[in-house]
Amino acid sequence: MTAPLQYRICALDPAAHLFAVTCTVAGPAAGGQLFSLPAWIPGSYMIRDFARHIVAIRAEAGGRAVALEKLDKQTWRAAPVPGGQALSVHCEVYAWDLSVRSAHLDRTHGFFNGSSVFLRVHGQEHCPCEVDILPPADAELADWRVITAMPPAGGVRSHAFGRYRAADYEELIDHPVEMGRFTVYAFEAAGVAHEIALSGRHDCDGERLCADLARICQWQIDLFGAPPPMDYYAFLTMVVGEGYGGLEHRASTALLTSRADLPWQGMKVPTDGYRQFLGLCSHEYFHTWNVKRIKPAAFVPYDLSRENHTALLWAFEGFTSYYDDLALVRSGVIGVDDYLGLLGKSISAVLRGPGRKRQSLAESSFDAWTKYYRQDENTPNEVVSYYAKGALVALALDLQLRAAGQGGSLDEVMRVLWRRHGSGTPGVPEDGIFAAVAEVGGTALARWLRRAVEGTADLPLARLLKPFGIGWRAAAAAALPWLGVKFASGAAEARLATVYSDAPAQRAGLAAGDVLVAIDGLKAATANAVDALLGRRRPGERVQVHAFRRDELMCFEVELGVPPADQVTLAALPRASVAAQQLRRAWLGQ
């Protein structure tokens, strides 16, 4: 039997944000063992070069130092060691990234993803792994606990430091770990234990949160069919003053949320922030099936040393983005009106992006590594979100399947994918989604889907929603002449963050980074001041705009435009036909 790889991690110096990590290999390669750290983490499609956070590294065997040669930015080779001797590599890892992607450590808590701290042992990726998670030495932190979905290796109590195990390296780095003084709330869904840990100050109504999450999780399990593909699930949540983010894992998720977005005792009506947090939890939980197990063939196996390109992120992230809020309404956590409000905002966000006319969803998926995750001032003009528009494609597909009256739906497509690729053949080929849609809804619909994701046309959502008794209203977001710019948020000046393609400001020569100072000779030092001055003008009028570009004052003549009708409002029509109401209830569950 192959000896497990042994890992050890402890909070070496919380004040200096340093984890100490050891990897011990019982049978290193005879010619010199290779080690590396991943360049990216699954679920976040950007090269992050986690090895840059290693501040010290050394190797030893039999109590003696072993030479380590660095081969590239993330790979080391240890010198050969005498036969029968174990080889250990010791690292110190700087952990000061308060996000769901990497690692963070101070005297309030510790968090890490395995991809940012655990070395890969080349040639032994399929060996079982054991990791000792050790408590900080500081006596003042003696009350810290641990929560992770990684199974204990035996004898470890719940939430205790000690030894944990994983079947192989891929599983090892797919179980994030939170340590500190967190609050834990528990609930069950389909008989499976679920826990949510909140790290940070909060006044959360845990009973309400658990009740809502239980309904959402149960609905998703029912969608794919019980039992779920895990026997325990953990929501690891870092609570901060202002923040938002999530990253999926096979039996857990790492979350970042603003404390104001959590429910509190006596909250009568769910706030927008709480609905957003529930949507985030729902999104990451849905990934338990869609992308963690039903995944692109390009990810089987993951190559964590470089980009793994696929044109299918519109399905894995976009379909998940469709189901995240849909699960809220179908499980009864929110009402139909609330859901239609959220859906209207999603449609509006897509319509406001000129990039939807330049980039297809397939292109957006493939170029996620270099475009979507590396945004700049021109991103809205050249990129479409495979999350947001992918969700609208899922909506359009679901509506067409349901309206056809043959009992089909996107739910059935997801179940086909689950049977075929989640618990069957691993890896969805690049045409696999189209094949599943053809099986459920026919080849004509599959051809429509291909055109939708490979082209740039707007989706006919108003027409598709009509048979469901959903009214569509599109209007300008504000009753102001259109300048066609986005101001930098939080800036104390009227600085342009983006100038939209073919908009009045761009045609006049204004550019991102310019700071507006006057309109027609009147001071316009803030975005609000600009809006106030434009409120006295009409579309078609010309105004003189003074702006600084770097340290040069420039003057531009802008012909104001008609604001686009990109604010969409949806409503359930009270006098819809019986057939429309039946379709709507079957779709939304209410």
Is 293 inside any structural domain?
yes
What's the number of domains the chain is made of? 3
pLDDT digits 0-9 by tens, 533-555: 999 999 999 999 999 999 999 99
Q: Domain containing 502: what range?
A: 485-559
The C-alpha atoms of residue 291 and residue 528 are separated, in whole angstroms, by: 43
pLDDT value at residue 3: 87
Residue 439 sits in the same domain as residue 500: no
The C-alpha atoms of residue 327 and residue 189 are separated, in whole angstroms, by: 14
Of 77, 108, 104, the C-alpha closest to 93 is: 104
Residues paired with residue 448 on neighbouring β-strands, in sequence order: none
Number of neighbouring beta carbons within 10 Å of residue 31: 9
CA angle at 259 for the pair 253 and 264, rounded to the nearest 5°: 105
Residue 129 sits in the same domain as residue 83: yes
Residue 453 sits in the same domain as residue 494: no
Whether the Cβ atoms of residue 384 and residue 364 lie closer than 8 Å to each other: yes
Is 76 inside any structural domain?
yes
* CATH code, domain with 367: 1.10.390.10
Residue 545 sits in the same domain as residue 445: no
Domain ends where: 82, 112, 138? 138
Reading the block at residue 236, the tokens are: 């690891």
Residue 405 sits in the same domain as residue 308: yes
Whether the Cβ atoms of residue 165 and residue 172 lie closer than 8 Å to each other: no
Domain ends where: 110, 138, 166? 138
Q: What Rg, from alpha-carbon coordinates, does the chain have?
A: 26
Helix (H) or strand (E) holding 6: strand 5-13
Is 504 inside any structural domain?
yes
* CATH code, domain with 28: 2.60.40.3650
Whether the Cβ atoms of residue 222 and residue 231 lie closer than 8 Å to each other: no
- Phi-psi category of residue 433: left, alpha or beta, with phi > 0 → left and psi -120 to 50 → alpha: alpha
φ, ψ at 560 (rounded to 5°): -65, 145
Tell me: cis bond preceding 301? Omega within 30 of 0 counts: yes
Is 215 inside any structural domain?
no
Residue 461 sits in the same domain as residue 343: yes
Residue 440 sits in the same domain as residue 316: yes
Report which residue type is found at 517. V
Q: Give whole-number Cα distances, 585 to 293, 502, 581, in Å.
A: 30, 42, 6
Residue 442 sits in the same domain as residue 554: no
Helix (H) or strand (E) holding 323: helix 318-330
Whether the Cβ atoms of residue 14 and residue 117 lie closer than 8 Å to each other: no
Is 379 inside any structural domain?
yes
Residue 415 sits in the same domain as residue 502: no
Is 194 inside any structural domain?
no
Residues paired with residue 94 on neighbouring β-strands, in sequence order: 18
**How far out from the chain centre does Cα 308 lie?**
17
Is 239 inside any structural domain?
no
The C-alpha atoms of residue 6 and residue 131 are separated, in whole angstroms, by: 6
What is the full DSSP assignment across 213-259? Answer: HHHHHHHHHHHH-SSPS-SEEEEEEEEESS-EEEEE-SSEEEEEEEG
Residue 459 sits in the same domain as residue 546: no
pLDDT value at residue 1: 58
| Location of structure tokens 């990497």 | 102
Residue 328 sits in the same domain as residue 441: yes
Walk along the chain (590 residues) and give the pLDDT tens digit of each residue: 578 999 999 999 999 999 999 999 999 999 999 999 999 999 999 999 999 999 999 999 999 999 999 999 999 999 999 888 999 999 999 999 999 999 999 999 999 999 999 999 999 999 999 999 999 999 999 999 999 999 999 777 789 999 999 999 999 999 999 999 999 999 999 999 999 999 999 999 999 999 999 999 999 999 999 999 999 999 999 999 999 999 999 999 999 999 999 999 999 889 999 999 999 999 999 999 999 999 999 999 999 999 999 999 999 999 999 999 999 999 999 999 999 999 999 999 999 999 999 999 999 999 999 999 999 999 999 999 999 999 999 999 999 999 998 889 999 999 999 999 987 778 999 999 999 999 999 999 999 999 999 999 999 999 999 999 999 999 998 888 999 999 998 878 999 999 999 999 999 999 999 999 999 999 999 999 999 999 999 999 999 999 999 999 999 999 999 999 999 999 999 999 999 999 999 999 99
Residue 426 sits in the same domain as residue 360: yes
Of 391, 279, 386, 262, the C-alpha closest to 325 is: 279
